[in-house]
Structure formats: structure tokens, C-alpha cells
Amino acid sequence: MQSVARGNTTGNTHQLALLPPEPHAEQMQGTGDPTTPIGDRIGTLLDQIGQNPSWLADRAGVSRSTISRILKAQRNPTPETLKEIAPVLGVELGQLVAGTDAAERVTAAEQLVARADYEAAVKHVIEFERQAHDLRAQLRDLTEERDNVREREREAKRNLIAAEQARDEALREARRFEHDAFRYRSALEKAVADLAQLQAEVSRLGSAVEASRATGRVGAILAGVAAVVSVASYLGSSDDDFDDEVDE
């Protein structure tokens, strides 16, 4: 495409001579004229690589009518269409639209979020909220279980203390029983000894009766026998004596 095609058509050759030349490939990265139509930029690149609009349409997967209308400035290409065209022309999208009337549209489109990406983000948010809800429920369950374990631990400690107290009380009772058993055993041994002595006295009494018929001595022995109480009463008196000794 020639500069005349894009310039002032008044026929003034001096005005045409003042028009800027077509940008070369190395100028694509500059800012250029901000009013340059994107169709002119595409046409210039096609001229530089020696190709035509039909070739561009076939390679970019865009209809030929669309390419034709873009080149004639009858249609503003969408950012998606420009993304397909740029690599076919051997440039980046930013290089293609730099300094053209399409630059602002492309920049605005890049700041937008695609609907598919938006829906995917919404799904992720919903999934994260569900996971957060599940985690909160698990946290509540674990917290409750922890509290139950702590309560069982406190109950176990209380039971242990009660068991230790019962054990100590049982030990005290056992010592008391052992002490009582010792008293009863000592009293019983003393009663047996006294009974043996009494039996000896009775035997001597019998011998004395048989030998001398001494009534006076018999009376004394009988008086001693009367003083001897039963084993049960003797054990009771022995317990009292033993308790007195312990108290002392």
C-alpha cells in the first residue's frame, strides 16, 4: 500500500510529500502516529513480506471479507482477531498495535478477565469455601475431642487420688488389725500360761486332798480357783491392760 492511499486526497502534491513514510519493521516497536489505522499497519506489513490479504486470511484463520474490511478501515478488528494476525505477520501483538488506533482496545482487553477464567475462578472460590467449611467442622470436632480427652484425664487424676487415699486408709486399717491381732495373741498366750498354772494348782490340790485331807489348804486353793475368771472375761481384761500399756 502506498502513502498516497492513506494521505490527503486533495491532489496537492506538496501535502502528499509532507506525509510521513510507511513505518519499516524496526519502527513497529516505536510509538508511531497514534492515529494510524490498524488496517494501514497490517497492509504495510503485508507489503514488506510480499503477501496479500487472501494469504493472511488463510494463515490466520480469519475470513477474507474480514481482512478486506479491516484493511479498508471499514471494521475495527477485535483483540482476538489481532492475536491471530500478529504471528502470521511475524510480529508480537504489542508490536502490531503500537501507535495505532487498536492499541487502546487491546490494552483494555488485556485488563479484562475472560469469562471462562472468571467462571473457573468462581468455581475455585466455591471449592475453597467448601474446603474451608469442612476444615472448620473438622476443627470443631477435634476441639471437642480434645476437651473430652482433657476431661477424661482430669477424671482419671481424681480417681487416682481417690484410689491412693483408699489405699492409705486400707494400710492404716491393716496396721490397726495387725496391732489388734498382736494384742489378742499376747493375751491368749498369757491366758494359756495362766490356765496351765491353774491346772497345776488343781493337780496339786487333788494331790493334797488325797494325801493329807488338809481342809485349810484346800480352802485356800479353792479361793484361788474362784478368783480365776473365764477365758473370755480374762481376754477382755487383758485387752484393757494392753491398751493402758500402749497409751503409756
The torsion defined by the Cα of 59, 63, 69 and 70, in degrees rounded to 10, comes to: -40
Asked whether the whole model's pTM tops 0.85, one would answer no
How many domains, in total, are found in the chain?
A: 2
Q: What is the CATH number of the domain that holds 95?
A: 1.10.260.40
Q: What is the pLDDT of residue 189?
A: 87
Give me the mean pLDDT over the 90-105 stretch: 91
Domain with 83, as residue range(s), is 3-112
pLDDT digits (tens, 9 = 90+) for 33-75: 457 899 999 999 999 999 999 999 999 999 999 999 999 988 8
Q: Do both 58 and 140 map to the same domain? A: no
Residue range 162-204, pLDDT digits in tens = 999 999 999 999 999 888 888 888 888 888 888 888 888 888 8
Are 132 and 34 contained in the same domain?
Answer: no
In this prediction, residue 81 has a pLDDT band, given cuts at 50, 70 and 90, of: very high
Q: Which cell goes with 201?
A: 494348782
Q: Same structural domain for residues 141 and 225? A: yes
> For residue 89, which of 44, 119, 127, 153 has the smallest C-alpha distance?
44
| 107 and 137 both lie in a single domain | no
Please name the residue that has the C-alpha cell 467462571.
Answer: 119
Q: Are residues 82 and 188 in the same domain?
A: no
Residues 101 and 165 placed together within one structural domain of the fold: no
